[in-house]
Amino acid sequence: MSVILEMSIFPMDKGMSVSPYVARALGIIRASGLEHRLGPMGTCIEGQWDEVMAVAGDCLRDLQQDCERVYLNMKLDWRRGGDGRLDAKPAAVLDKLGG
């Protein structure tokens, strides 16, 4: 029974250009092998609770190495029997709109 986790993570002490840190987090997400989608304001990851939270924790620990303050925003959607929803959810919305 998988969940979708959307996460955004960035340091608060490194100035306004945080993409190098976001890239490190995305590298960790990629290395996890979990399905994910990068977006303008965060990355959605699908997997079991333990899997996706382990990835989020790895991202935080990575940034803790050289950052003094880190902000992490997450929202999570669990639905019984729901799998493969990273594409199915937006597809269902578009379908209702007539494509």
Residue 47, classed as helix, strand or coil, is: strand
The distance of closest approach from Cβ of residue 32 to a second copy in the complex, given in angstroms and rounded to an integer, is 14
Q: Phi then psi for 57, rounded to 5 degrees?
A: -65, -40
Residue closer to a second copy by CB (options 10, 34) is 10
Task: Please report, as residue ranges, which positions from 13 to 52 form the binding site for a second copy (by CB under 8 A).
Answer: 13, 15-16, 18-20, 22-23, 26-27, 30, 37-42, 44, 49-50
Read off the amino acid at residue 11.
P
The distance of closest approach from Cβ of residue 84 to a second copy in the complex, given in angstroms and rounded to an integer, is 11
